[in-house]
Copies of this chain bind each other. A is one copy, B any other.
Amino acid sequence: MFSKSCEYAIKAMIFIAQKSKDEARVGIKEIAKGTDSPEHFVAKIMQDLSRRKLVHSVKGPNGGFYMDHFDLKTSLADIVKAIDGDSIYKDCVLGLKACSEKNPCPVHNEFKEIKKNLIMMIEDNTIGDFNEKLDSGKFFLRNK
């Protein structure tokens, strides 16, 4: 559904949200361990998310990544678009460039509905929402 990079990005964002109550900073190593992700790879992805202002970062001692109240409003769609681009939004499922509403491929209408639901869902759900889910103790990010 999403690329590995995107999976890591989503997990990292949720992890940072969890850890950054009262502006605390989380380092790359902690993020990598906390999300079972390859450290240097997730570091690259964080650079991206940071450049795109989806998280804040500070260098130096006690530095790291954090999210403020506003950052919690970041939607899944924001992350997906940042990392995987908008192919979910605009590309034909069969890869047909000519496919459109006026010139639909045979599977166009069936996937239109699916994609609409998917897009609505990722637009609606924010990091803050998932953060609260984890807080409830009924959902888990760790893999072991």
Interface residues of A (CB under 8 A from B): 1-2, 4, 7, 10-11, 14, 36, 76, 88, 93-99, 103-108, 110-111, 113-114, 117-118, 121, 125, 130-131, 133-134, 138-144
Please indicate which of the listed interface residues A2, A88, A95, A139 has the most CB atoms of chain B within 10 Å of its own CB: A95
Q: Which of B88, B98, B106 makes the CB contact (< 8 A) with A143?
A: B98
A93-B2 in contact given A106-B133, A114-B121, A130-B107 (Cβ < 8 Å): yes
Sorted from nearest, which 10 A-B pairs have the closest CB atoms? A106-B130, A106-B133, A7-B95, A106-B139, A98-B143, A96-B143, A114-B118, A7-B94, A110-B121, A104-B139
